[in-house]
Structure 1
Amino acid sequence: MDIAEVARRSGLPASTLRYYEEKGLIASSGRRGLRRVFAPGVVERLALVALGRAAGFSLDEIAAMFGPDGRLVIDRQLLAAKADDLDRTIRRLAALRDGLRHAAACPAQDHLACPRFRRILATAGRPTSRKRTRPPA
């Protein structure tokens, strides 16, 4: 299928497909005139790339999940570490959401006079530690 058909099926612009090809995430199988041609399996591969992006993986990390033969080679430890990162992000965002809801409904005239709001401020001011998602090389 040509690049226009891949773009239509994947919902990605042709420019993104060309960039993904440059990054080694997908590969065209040739050209029909001036247009790149791709195997039908490229749409599934693009879905895997989209899933990786949604999970927070970089394009380089996603590219590393494909072996030289194009088969999926997933580092399960990397997936577990990313899941742990997502858990931390979910907890942080839930606390932020709860703090915003409290601030919106807080009956105190002055938010800074509210003990709960002050605890939220103290928590928000603390630095968060970021664990690496990939073991050092």
Structure 2
Amino acid sequence: MLDISELSRKSGAPASKLRYYEEVGLIRSVGRKGLRRVFEPDVLPRLALIALGQAAGFSLAEIRGMLGQEKEPSIDRDMLAAKADAVDRHIEELSALRDGLRHAATCTAPSHLECPTFQRLMRIALVRQGARGRGRKQARAMSQKGGTARGDNT
């Protein structure tokens, strides 16, 4: 058995995060040793799965859904494939942005505003900003109705 301070040291997660994960149902303590929560050692791989899920961009609610309450997680392969596709799209967008910025850095046009590549980058940035703004408005509207747009990302 690991008390919360040992689990924190071994996992690298602060005790406050471990308490929060327990509160939202991601991990479960098996009792107390004095005032400290006690966890089974098999919670370490579960914490690693949570960290991996967050690194991949899954919300805690999505991760909780895949991990469930049982010891053996039920990871949705379709969700993984969809997330991988989203990561691929993001990589493509970032690669195009990088290439545009490199071009702008070496462009021989008298002004960046005269460069067609730079103008295209500006148009893309405006479109993305508008899409993000619409996403925030939808999230606010849903939260006012008592729901959430993306789930718990804390």
Q: SS of the counterpart of 2:127?
A: coil
Greater alpha carbon shift after TM alignment, 90-99 vs 54-63: 90-99
SS state at 1:125 partner: helix
Report deviation, 1:115.
1.9
Residue 73 of structure 1 pairs with residue 74 of structure 2? yes
- TM-score (norm. length: structure 2): 0.78
* CA RMSD between the two structures: 2.0
CA distance in 1, matches of 2:19, 2:124: 44
Deviation at 1:76, TM superposition (A): 1.1
| Counterpart position of 1:19 | 20
Runs of 5+ in structure 2 lacking a partner?
136-149
Residue identity (%)? 60
Greater shift in the superposed pair: 5-14 or 101-110: 101-110
Tell me which of the two structures has the higher relative contact order, counting C-alpha pairs closer than 8 angstroms and 6 or more residues apart.
2
Q: State TM-score, norm by structure 1.
A: 0.87
Q: What are structure 1's unaligned runs of at least 5 residues? A: none
| CA displacement 1:57-84 (0-9 Å, x = unmatched) | 0000000012332321011111111111
Residue 126 of structure 1 deviates from its aligned partner by: 3.0
Pair 23,109 (structure 1): closer, same or farther in 2 beyond 3 Å: same
Equivalent in the alignment of 1:98? 99
In the alignment of these two chains, the number of paired residues is 131
Q: In the alignment, what sits opposite 2:34?
A: 33
SS across alignment from 2:66 = coil
